[in-house]
Chain A
Amino acid sequence: MSNIENQIFSSYQRNPDLYDEIYDGEGNIKDIYQKLFDIYGGHSIQDYINLNSKAKASFFNQGITFQVYGEDNVQEKIFPFDLFPRIIDTEEWEIIEQGSIQRAKALNLFLWDIYHDKKILKDKIVPLELITSSANYLDQMNGVNPPGGIYNHISGTDIIKHKDGKYYVLEDNIRCPSGVSYVICNRTALKRALFGVFNHYQTHTVTDYAENLLEQLESVKPKGVDIPNCVVITPGMYNSAFYEHSYLAKTMGVELVEGRDLFVENDFVYMKTIKGPQKVDVIYRRIDDAFLDPLEFRPDSALGVPGLFSAYKKGNVTLANAPGTGVADDKAVYTYMPEIIKYYLDEEPILNNVHTYHCSRPDELEYVLANIPELVIKPVDEAGGYGISIGNRLSEKEIEEVRKQVKENPRKYVAQPIMSLSVHPTYIDDSESFEQRHVDLRTFTILGKDKEFVLKGGLTRVALKKGNLIVNSSQGGGSKDTWVLKKQ
């Protein structure tokens, strides 16, 4: 079937300057997409509109919603879901999987080192200032040995495909990366809407995430505990990722708790239950370091548990991820990732890093100030895509403003060349047709004691606004089901 006969793709406009995930360089549909393309082409656009609205309703009815901070009238939104899946073949996936594990392991060793002997600093691979000036470096973690030697139990790695066809990592999220529940819900929604398409592909399942997560949490139980009691702690129902917290607790079969449900007695953590206190051994925490324990960190935290950190320090409870992992999540540390991987693993990085200019270095600052229109300027310590300036989208006046900000506080900024994220056909409501939209991929890597696991799928995020490069859900992004094909 040729492109023209395919009615739902008849108006698809392919910009040859962009890397399109479903077309090869000559403008032909890639083999792995052909079957899917044919099946979708058998539907009319009206069928598609109907299916799409059903899928949306299904998300809303399941309560899979989130909130955007900083808007005046906060409301629950659904994370827009696109029915046209993204397919990753076996060979490419191997690279992504091995690359994600490599980074997670290197970061774990880095964290151990900077909270113990600090050899990487003494060997001058990473500058001392990176640690001393980081707001996320926790002095209290010095010399602490987390159970199983694991700091970043769960890592979310944001990966893109550039127009050169290679994968690049944009960010390693190792504080409380979110999004994994969408991966599983997207699969469910697609199965409900278009079950038949799965008959034509051998796709890896994504529903094994919860069992792997639980197994990992149990593997890092405190010393002397036989069968650990694990819980998920959430800041509460007003948190933007509350759905995910409850989903993970439910699918792991463990309790979902808030700070007020726990208390600490003689440096052990207990959960209040109607049958009396029940000891807690492993906490998958979805609250930030600063809010964990009002006696140790922010005294005004109503989300945490007084005395929790002492219990952790004494080795009576495991926190996943460990406190203080945020120091390695810093965008300035990202820029040293190739060196960090080489230093600890003696390996070449499997996934590329985007070249980064450090505004804290005078010569690089000079380059950045002179080339703002060709660069992306990022604050080193903001999450969720906030505060990012994309040089070629700025007016003269805005460029001047960015220049002023960077000049005033160079340590706060890094700059990178503007990466061209690959695009993928995405159904757009307003035009009732398929259009090219930029996509990225967040993989979820689990490290446990002698255990590593990458969810075979991950979250493909779509920048829904035309031409937009920022895919975060808080910035109006959507998502796609992501298929990893089994070996033939």
Chain B
Amino acid sequence: MLKEYTVTYRSDNVYENWVHDAYWQFLILPLENTTQELLDTDFSNSIHAINQFSINGFGFNTIKVHPKKRFKQISFEAIFKVLKSENKEIKNVSESENKKSLEEINTLEFKINFERFLKSTRLTLLPKLETPLFQFNTNASLFENLKLLNNWVHVFLKYSPGVTDITTTLDKVLLQKSGVCQDFAHLFCAVCRKNGIPSRYVSGYLNHESGYLGDSQMHAWTEAYLPHYGWLGFDPTNNVLTNSNHIKVSHGKDFNDCSPLKGVVYSQGTHKTSHSVVVKSQQQQIQQ
């Protein structure tokens, strides 16, 4: 089944003093892949600066803005139309297939090819603990273990906006047992990698009408690599596999690779920035 979405991303920035020079990089464009098609992109800003379509260091499409005049206030608005389909179904894996996958994961070749998503970063570093947080069940398949992990993260952390920020490390998250979507994603990635399974942090949009947890900003989830399937999406905040309600933008080792907005602003004094995301599916718009 196909769903058509309209995603509206907004960022408002107000500065105390004149800004004489600024560069912004937006990593907010929905990705094009087998389940996503970007039908239309409309990006505008309040001071009519030119948009430059570019890439970031990892090759994801970005929009860059470099205004040519001074300003104290600037708003950005992006409207994307996306056609989204369901993931290909994951079939039950036979015992021998699962065994083959496990063997593959333990080869040096595999560890080298996936080293980027197997190493821990500052944000996905697990503190040293006497007993492991979550242990993989050797009798269950890789896929079942990942589902169990997804469930464990979901139950272990309480979703509470405002208790963490984008620099919060896992030792603090584990201590307070609460956080937001990026903390759920970081914890999932950390445990995965500790068990030799490549996993990556994903940034994207969540269909807010789906009833899933996630605030009115960009959402974060994860992907883990199963040799017999490929990259498979898990949303530990909601304890589900990703589906047609998840619109992917980018992936990386952790939040730092996926930051939706990076900017260099030459100005003095304080500033206020706010972001908002609204995702609507076409079908529901028609009903209104």
**Which A residues are within 8 Å of any B CB, using their own CB?**
118, 121-122, 124, 128, 131-132, 139-140, 142, 263-267, 294-296, 299, 306-307, 309-310, 313-314
Contact = CB atoms under 8 A, between A and B. Distances in A.
Given A122-B109, A122-B112, A295-B23, A307 B55 contact: no
Contact of A118 (B64, B112, B118): B112
Contacts of B62: 310
A266 B23 CA distance: 12
Given A139-B58, A314-B55, 10 more contacts: A128-B108, A132-B118, A140-B57, A140-B58, A266-B52, A267-B52, A267-B54, A295-B264, A307-B54, A310-B56
Interface in B50-74: 52, 54-59, 62, 64, 66
A263 B108 CA distance: 43
B111 A128 contact: yes
B262 interface: yes
B41 to A, nearest CB: 17
A294 B264 contact: yes
B194 interface: no
Given A296-B57, A307-B64, A310-B56, A131 B115 contact: yes
B264 A309 contact: no
B119 interface: yes
Contacts of A307: 23, 25, 54, 64, 66
Given A142-B116, A307-B23, A296 B56 contact: yes
B219 interface: no
A333 to B, nearest CB: 16
20 contacts: A118-B113, A139-B58, A139-B253, A140-B57, A263-B66, A266-B52, A266-B54, A294-B264, A295-B56, A295-B64, A296-B56, A296-B57, A299-B262, A306-B66, A307-B66, A309-B57, A310-B54, A310-B62, A310-B64, A314-B54
Given A139-B253, A263-B66, A306 B264 contact: yes
A199 to B, nearest CB: 56
Nearest to A118: B112
Contacts of A121: 108, 112
B68 to A, nearest CB: 10
Contacts of B56: 295-296, 310
B112 A128 contact: yes
Nearest to B253: A139
Contacts of B59: 313
Interface residues of B, number: 24
B27 to A, nearest CB: 10
Interface in B75-109: 108-109
Query: Which 5 A-B pairs have CB atoms at the shortest separation, nearest pair first?
Result: A140-B57, A306-B23, A296-B57, A132-B119, A306-B264
Nearest to A309: B57
A309 B64 CA distance: 13
A265 B111 CA distance: 38
B43 to A, nearest CB: 15
B130 to A, nearest CB: 20
Contact of A310 (B57, B66, B116): B57
A124 B109 CA distance: 10
A118 to B, nearest CB: 5
Contacts of A118: 112-113
A306 B25 CA distance: 9
Contacts of B262: 295, 299
Interface string B15-50: 000000001010000000000000000000000000
Nearest to B22: A306
A42 B108 CA distance: 68
Interface in B184-237: none
A131 B264 CA distance: 30
Nearest to B262: A295
B57 A313 contact: yes
Contacts of B25: 295, 306-307
B115 A132 contact: yes
A96 B52 CA distance: 49
B112 A139 contact: no
A122 B108 contact: yes
B52 A265 contact: yes
A263 B58 CA distance: 21
Contacts of B115: 128, 131-132
A295 B60 CA distance: 14
Nearest to A306: B23
